[in-house]
Structure 1
């Protein structure tokens, strides 16, 4: 079983969820700005890399965790992923796709646009961190639900 956290640009919310899932970020408290900024891939994905699936790490049960950005084409990208699995003879049940975009607040959206979209990193990056800190517990709950689902599969 593999888990792919997906968002708009694979730079913020999918990275945050994958970091919580793999234990890079804590689940029992809101991380500091520095902890979030030190997460691999955080606010680093360039536009031409969107759509690339990146391996993030492994969780405590041995499940592999990935991230991907899908821009505004989530339905198309998901269809492409699942049709590729079908053609490769891999069951659709071997993969869990988790959309993290619904857990993002406006502060993170604006910061992401400024940082990744306009290249105003010094303004946008701090906004993304602040926004994700404000909605952090929602991400912890999302990851907890995913982990519970994985545990029930064993």
Structure 2
């Protein structure tokens, strides 16, 4: 099984969600600025890298977690991924696509635009971090819901003590 968190540019929301998923960021508190900026790919993805999947790590179930930016081509990219699954006879349930863009607030959007699109990193990056911190527990909730789906698909009871 594979998990791909996707957003517009694979620089902010997908990076945060995937980092929480694999344990790079805490679930029980808002991370420090240093913790956020040291996550691989945070506010780093270049425009020409959009559409390339980036490996983030493995979760506690051994599932590989990736991020990908889809820009304004979300439907086309998802259709392409679905087609590749069919071509290679990979069951659809082996890939979980998670839209993390819905967790982003206006502060992060503006910061991301300034930093990634206009190259104004010194102004944009602090704004993205402020926005991420403000919405952090929404990311935690998203990851928790993804992990619940995974537990269900693996047939594991989240309340069991095994």
Distance in 1 (alpha carbons) for counterparts of 2:60 and 2:85: 25
Matches within 5 A, 1:62-77: 62-77=62-77
Q: TM-score, normalised by structure 1?
A: 0.99
Structure 1 stretches of at least 4 aligned residues deviating more than 3 Å after TM superposition? none
Q: TM-score, normalised by structure 2?
A: 0.94
| Rg (Cα) greater in structure | 2
User: Is the partner of 1:90 in helix, strand or coil?
Assistant: coil
1:118 — aligned with what?
Answer: 118
Give, in angstroms, the shift of residue 130 of structure 1: 0.4
Are 1:3 and 2:6 an aligned pair?
Answer: no
Give, in angstroms, the shift of residue 94 of structure 1: 0.7
Superposition CA RMSD, Å: 0.6
2:106 — aligned with what?
Answer: 106
1:42 — aligned with what?
Answer: 42
Give, in angstroms, the shift of residue 74 of structure 1: 0.8
1:82 — aligned with what?
Answer: 82
Q: How many residues align?
A: 154
Matches within 5 A, 1:14-33: 14-33=14-33
Segments of 5+ residues of structure 2 without an aligned counterpart are: 155-162
Distance in 1 (alpha carbons) for counterparts of 2:73 and 2:103: 18
- Superposed CA deviations along residues 103-138 of structure 1, whole A, max 9, x for unmatched, are 100000000000000000000001000000000000
User: Is the partner of 1:56 in helix, strand or coil?
Assistant: strand
User: Is the partner of 1:39 in helix, strand or coil?
Assistant: coil
